[in-house]
Structure 1
Amino acid sequence: MSIDRLVTSGSFSLDGGTWEVDNNVWLVGSGDEVVIIDAAHDAAAILGAVADRRVTAIVCTHGHNDHIDAAAEVAAATGAPILLHPADQVLWEMHYGSDVPYVPLKDGQVIDAGEVALTVLHTPGHSPGAVCLHARELGVVFSGDTLFQGGPGATGRSYSSFETIIESIEDRLLTLPEETIVHTGHGDSTTIGAEAPHLGEWLHRGH
């Protein structure tokens, strides 16, 4: 059983602005097969990290272009389906139009990643279809851009809501065991226990 982190670099564009970003791409699986979480920016680097393993799914934690922009190329190379929550359809179409199909994710769905199960937690706020993936057996949650080291993901742009992301974090993430490791969409990992005490500060900061 392995969790591999690959950092790729590219740009994020929304609301007429573009920013250079580094993204975490997570590969979760066994020696034979792997699930890719957030195929960002660099298909060649991602395929290199996959090596000779079979890709069973490309899961998008949300539809912002910096998390999906290599998904179509990786899917074409591997034959793996792309999974996205349909509430992010509008964001998906901003990047891909209607040309690239995906399989709709739903809350509570379980994705098989080799020797581990990833449970989908719908955590809207950063975007309407944002999801986290909880690997209970490993004590790990992949949070996308919902929760970072130091607080919630950004909610200052279109299709996002501060109140909603706080509700998602409080109800879906802070209820996980405090030792749960949080592997984020950007930057360093953290734990539920490290972030939970700061909920009040985030609420104060957001208003």
Structure 2
Amino acid sequence: MTGARIDHAVSSGTFSLDGQTFDVDNNIWVIGDDSECIVIDAPHSVDDIMAVVGDRAVRAIVCTHAHDDHVRVAPDLRERVGAPILLHPDDRPVWELTHPGTAWDADLADGQVLEVAGTRIQVLHTPGHAPGAVCLYVPELGAVFTGDTLFNGGPGATGRSFSDRPTIEASIRARLFALPDDTVVHTGHGDDTTIGAEAEALGR
């Protein structure tokens, strides 16, 4: 049995790209046990994230992609908790829109395995919403964290810079729909879903 659990909160702020800004609510996801954890994405507010983390040691800040509503406070969170920021290098041009002249700490790679609280987290490169978008699959918890790649209701948006609809659909079909149907999908925004429900709706 794994000792890891999933903790969750919602943080409110804005998303800006291509000269437009929107109000948006982002999910905060934290995986760990009572002593250590990783934080998935860093939206809007360090204090909102720390309310979920508590006094645990943060081992990493893992970014599903580099849109500003997912990484805006990543450097500030890094400073607060002393943990490295992890991002797929294909998202460099997106990251630099928000944090020019500031680097993340380590690259994510497809197939990489992260570990926290004795639990393995598999990195799946799923480009389309952004070139360096990744999903994080945690078999022991029956869950996948999809960022903005897959939502309850279908693929993430692809109408803006650095995104592509055929690419995101190919990523979802090849990487996510290969997971067990009962895998719970924890999204970057909105409600959970399952792989089976989205595969039925989109078609494998």
Shorter-chain TM-score: which interval? over 0.9
Structure-2 residue corresponding to 1:103: 106
Is it true that 1:118 corresponds to 2:121 in the alignment? yes
The answer to whether the Cα contact below 8 Å between 2:86 and 2:104 also exists between their aligned partners in 1 is: no
Alpha-carbon distance between aligned partners in 2 of 1:118 and 1:170, rounded to the nearest angstrom: 20
Structure-1 residue corresponding to 2:167: 164
Q: CA deviation at 1:47?
A: 1.4
Q: Per-residue CA shift, 1:59-99, capped at 9, x if unaligned?
A: 00001000001111110011100000010001111101022
The two structures have a TM-score, normalised by structure 1, of 0.95
Structure-2 residue corresponding to 1:136: 139
Identical-residue share of aligned pairs (%): 55
Amino acid at match of 1:82: I
Q: CA deviation at 1:116?
A: 1.2
Which of the residues 51, 57, 62 maps onto 1:59?
62
Amino acid at match of 1:117: R
Q: CA deviation at 1:117?
A: 0.9
Alpha-carbon distance between aligned partners in 1 of 2:47 and 2:166, rounded to the nearest angstrom: 38
RMSD of aligned residue pairs (Cα, Å): 1.1
Alpha-carbon distance between aligned partners in 2 of 1:10 and 1:44, rounded to the nearest angstrom: 13
Alpha-carbon distance between aligned partners in 1 of 2:45 and 2:102, rounded to the nearest angstrom: 20
Runs of 5+ in structure 1 lacking a partner? Answer: none
Alpha-carbon distance between aligned partners in 2 of 1:56 and 1:174, rounded to the nearest angstrom: 29
Q: CA deviation at 1:103?
A: 1.1
Structure-2 residue corresponding to 1:94: 97
After TM superposition, the runs of 4+ consecutive aligned structure 1 residues lying more than 6 A away are none
Alpha-carbon distance between aligned partners in 1 of 2:131 and 2:170, rounded to the nearest angstrom: 13
Q: Per-residue CA shift, 1:123-181, capped at 9, x if unaligned?
A: 00000000000001111000000000010000000000000000000000001000000
Alpha-carbon distance between aligned partners in 2 of 1:47 and 1:114, rounded to the nearest angstrom: 18
Structure-2 residue corresponding to 1:151: 154
Alpha-carbon distance between aligned partners in 2 of 1:44 and 1:98, rounded to the nearest angstrom: 24
Alpha-carbon distance between aligned partners in 2 of 1:28 and 1:181, rounded to the nearest angstrom: 14
The answer to whether the Cα contact below 8 Å between 2:115 and 2:121 also exists between their aligned partners in 1 is: yes
Which of the residues 172, 179, 184 maps onto 1:181?
184
Equivalent residue of 1:9, what SS?
Answer: strand
Alpha-carbon distance between aligned partners in 1 of 2:13 and 2:103, rounded to the nearest angstrom: 20
Is it true that 1:73 corresponds to 2:76 in the alignment? yes
Aligned residues: 201
Equivalent residue of 1:12, what SS?
Answer: strand
The two structures have a TM-score, normalised by structure 2, of 0.96
Structure-2 residue corresponding to 1:38: 41
Runs of 5+ in structure 2 lacking a partner? Answer: none
